[in-house]
Structure 1
């Protein structure tokens, strides 16, 4: 139990506008903000921190060793692969996440990436800006298409994937899905390899674990239909990136990627040299509305830490 106002290290540097929006949600908490790239400030704040609100910068054993008061690492999101969970457990530090808090934003971002990839938005935008958009490229009908009439395969079937189903169906897509917890008795469920072979668009919604690392490898990419689109808003490590580069050069139509195996991505990464790739810097989750939801959940759990109440969404 924390006796004074719990000291929070929020590993995020908001603008003045966003901070003013969030501060009314922080009543009773002593919040210190820190940009993820500001290692000096982060190290200085850790020793007096009771609750760390974690975004993306990995939390290591060395970080935890500098935080003797730390009682809670609150992930703003669901994936906890960026936290040294073994060390946190050994130190008696609770880790909690917030499944579903970013689902509306990530589902919309996945749909955006599907549409951008199918309609070649990035190269067409670039061509228009450099004055090369006209006369109309009459080869476009061979290279662009609609979601309607296509089969979309969702790999993973948590809150994000389930939220994505309704707009896909409304646009005329057939939706199939795979999750290890599903079975042939569930409507729309497919074994993973069958889903990959059946789908025109494959969208990944998986945590990064030992069992999902490079799950989408060269063999599985070869199962996908020629011209198919791969969208990844989960974790970059779920995909074998060199194999994806080769597939995009030879068989696949396009990819929409919000995440990469190493982040920030090296500008020399060959994925960024392909005009059939739409790339975002791991921001599918990042909207003002998501921040509202995440801060409400994080603040509630931190107050629970201070009062000795059970924490919500503890990670085993």
Structure 2
């Protein structure tokens, strides 16, 4: 994603980019205004009156309450404006202001956005989780998932890798597959030590990588290695049209969080569960047999 950058003349290109997204939003509102209901117009007013950073942290529930409409009206209005949902709009707004030079400012805004009330924090975090899952649901591409599952079923072994916090999702998928009796290996290393793990990728493997939309060196070398060995790769990333996604055999959309209010690996874990369940259903006897052996081992260890 684009970072925050200030030119030598002191010109803030991140602010410009955010302004462009806001201008585009307001242009769409003007174009659709005549055809909108009073409720949709109320939502549009609330959207157009906010700054980019305010919109990034607002939820559909908050907009619904403010406009005396509903979550569903907010979502329908945003979709009518040409976005897949509020999450997509927020992601577009957050991308230009995601640079490290604004980290302190964004952290403060994230903490202050929920206030100090437990119920408000609870509601805000759940609302963002629901928005991300809703975004995932609306961008579901069956043909991509079918391709990914086919690659998993045809492979001798699945190798999983996660960049940064996404390592949790990679480890989760590896563990679920192993418990089904599917050959799997989780790459734990990064940086210098990653070379040893990449060396272990062999013909017959399929690599599942959980990665950001920007092309990092680790992910780039990982995908280069899959091509050199001649193995398929499944990439879970925010932008399936990005350069890094084009390097993979198949890319699955994994919406991230522009606010940091919810865990980055949340969607990766959900997709991992979907993929694992598809593999389990493809060979029920193997899955049940492996589950039985796992239970027996746990009992022998005293965990009845």
Q: Which has the higher helix share?
A: 2
Task: State the TM-score, normalized to the length of structure 1.
Answer: 0.36
Task: State the TM-score, normalized to the length of structure 2.
Answer: 0.37
